[in-house]
Copies of this chain bind each other. A is one copy, B any other.
Amino acid sequence: MIKTRPFSSMATTTRSPSHAQDHILAERKRREKLSQRFIALSSIVPGLKKMDKASVLGDAIKYVKHLQEKIKQLEEQTKKRTVESVVLVKRYHLPAADDDDDHSNSSSNDDAELPEIEARASERDVMIRIHCEKQPGVLAKVLSEVESLRLSIVNSSVLPFGNSTLDITIVAQMDGEFSMKVIELVKNLRLAFLKFM
């Protein structure tokens, strides 16, 4: 087997007599490693029809992109879900765009797990319901917050729901002639949660 001379004219690349075999062996090992990785790659990429290297690479590329896109979607989705429940909450209290709040609005939401807060009032009674993530200290925090609003607590109930959720229901009464719009109440509770979390 005689190869035609590549025109480099650099005929003087010393070839080691014994080490030439090393070279061959090393190259063989390298190829072996590559082939192994190709097999490994093709084994974790689902649904490939053609098993040739180009197709494996191509399908792997598509697959990676697909996975990345899916992860992106899932992460957005999880965030959206909490946002939706927040929106539900905001329906009750959204006029928050008032002047008493922080003006640094817009990007103010790092809302990892904002709770859903609902409040209603009947005569002197106020009912507060909070659907939130299970956290140590939430109940105490909420109760003290409620009391700080000059509301005397009549009853409270905490129900675990699912693995990581709490449903807190509180009934309180307003003192004397002091009264508070429920929307203000929800706003205050929400601010307390923002500080707390």
Q: Is the CB of B67 within 8 A of A44?
A: no
Query: Which residues of B lie under 8 Å from residue A75 when comparing CB positions?
Result: 74
Contact partner, A68, options B67, B83, B123, Cβ 8 Å: B67
Q: Does A3 contact B (CB under 8 A)?
A: yes
Total number of A residues with any Cβ neighbor in B under 8 Å? 55
Q: What's the number of copies of this chain in the assembled complex?
A: 2
Question: Are the C-beta atoms of B54 and A33 separated by less than 8 Å?
Answer: yes
**CB within 8 A of A162: which of B67, B122, B159, B169?**
B122
Q: Are A64 and B45 closer than 8 Å at their CB atoms?
A: yes
Does chain B have a CB within 8 A of A107?
Answer: no
Q: Confirm or deny: A40 has a beta carbon within 8 angstroms of a beta carbon on chain B.
A: yes
- Asked if A77 is at the interface (CB within 8 A of a chain B CB), the reply is yes
Is the CB of A60 closer than 8 A to any CB of chain B? yes
A44 neighbours in B (Cβ, 8 Å):
61, 64-65, 68
Shortest distance from the beta carbon of A127 to any chain B beta carbon, whole Å: 5
